[in-house]
Amino acid sequence: MGRLDGKVALISGGARGQGATEGRMFVREGAAVVLGDVLDDEGKKVEAEIRANGGKATYVHLDVTRDADWRAAVATAVQAYGKLNVLVNNAGILFRARIEDTSEADWDRIMAVNVKGVFLGTKAAIPAMRQAGGGSIINISSVAGLVGSPQNTAAYSATKGAVRIFTKSTAIQHAKDKIRSNSVHPGPIATDMIKDSLENKAAWEQRLRRLPMGRVGTAEEVAYGVIYLASDESSYMTGSELVIDGGTTAE
């Protein structure tokens, strides 16, 4: 028995990194997954790999800033697998600059992907989840959505704080529909998103010294938390924050 047996999940940003890891691990736990991304070649490779191992996966082109793409992705899940139980709003971009060096276009871009994308995904998924008798929406925020950061990520932090509160509003509005909504707050995780930081050895070692666990997390360590929120094990959990950060926000 898998922890997600019979569930159908839609994962944005599913072509690589955190999203691809979630997709593979969801399938191992018995789910069928629809992976959405703008990186079509990489997404199709993940789909092919999961299918070659006997799992159920479908890749769709999904620009999270486009309402039509979201509606099509949800429709694909329902057509291919009969329903939609889980949405993981995983897609996101990171932008680093001091506030004074952040252009209006930079601000609008990160807001569009990281905040509008979560809103559009949630809006598109709710009718299908209601029809399925309920569901679980998991929004990948960040420790940057809980506390300020000295890393020149004011715009990024603003998006992740917005995701955190939008998650709670969704939870309250849709509890009667049996739709749960929770946010996940990873600390530094070894994916492409922080590759530039990892390459700056001196700065990175200094940051690791500030981390209680003294290491970055893995995409798998975050995905286990996402699996818990997607599963019926977390049936009484909604509007909550799951922090997976190696102790980053504890001090």
CATH number of the domain at 65, please.
3.40.50.720
Rounded to 5 degrees, what are φ and ψ at 184? -115, 135
- pLDDT at residue 127 tops 70: yes
Q: Mean per-residue pLDDT for 204-229?
A: 88
- pLDDT at residue 197 tops 90: no
Q: Mean per-residue pLDDT for 93-113?
A: 95
Q: How confident is the model at residue 20 (pLDDT cuts 50, 70, 90)?
A: very high
Distance from C-alpha of 233 to C-alpha of 130, rounded to nearest angstrom:
20
Note the pLDDT of residue 68: 98
Residue 2 located in a structural domain: no
**Residue 34, both tokens:** 């629809």
**Residue 1, both tokens:** 């028995």
Contact 62, 70 (CB under 8 A): yes
> How many domains does the chain divide into?
1
Tell how far CA 159 is from the center of its chain: 13
- pLDDT at residue 195 tops 90: no
Beta pairing class for 86-89 and 135-140: parallel
Residue 34 located in a structural domain: yes
Helices 117-131 + 67-81 axis angle, to 10: 30
Rounded to 5 degrees, what are φ and ψ at 193? -60, -35
- pTM here? 0.94
Q: Mean per-residue pLDDT for 34-45?
A: 98
Residue 121 located in a structural domain: yes
Residue 216 located in a structural domain: yes
| Percent of the chain predicted with pLDDT > 70 | 95
Q: Which residue range is the domain that position 22 belongs to?
A: 8-243
- Smallest CA-to-CA distance from 9 within 69, 66, 55 is with 55
Residue 3 located in a structural domain: no
Note the pLDDT of residue 147: 92
Distance from C-alpha of 89 to C-alpha of 208, rounded to nearest angstrom:
28
Distance from C-alpha of 19 to C-alpha of 222, rounded to nearest angstrom:
10
Catalytic choice (156, 224, 228, 236): 156
Residue 210 located in a structural domain: yes
Note the pLDDT of residue 189: 85
Note the pLDDT of residue 79: 98
**Residue 216, both tokens:** 């970055």
Distance from C-alpha of 70 to C-alpha of 117, rounded to nearest angstrom:
9
The single-letter code of the amino acid at 198 is: L
Residue 80 located in a structural domain: yes
Least confident of 114-118, 215-219, 222-226: 215-219
Residue 203 located in a structural domain: yes
Note the pLDDT of residue 150: 74
Tell me, yes or no, if 156 is annotated catalytic. Answer: yes
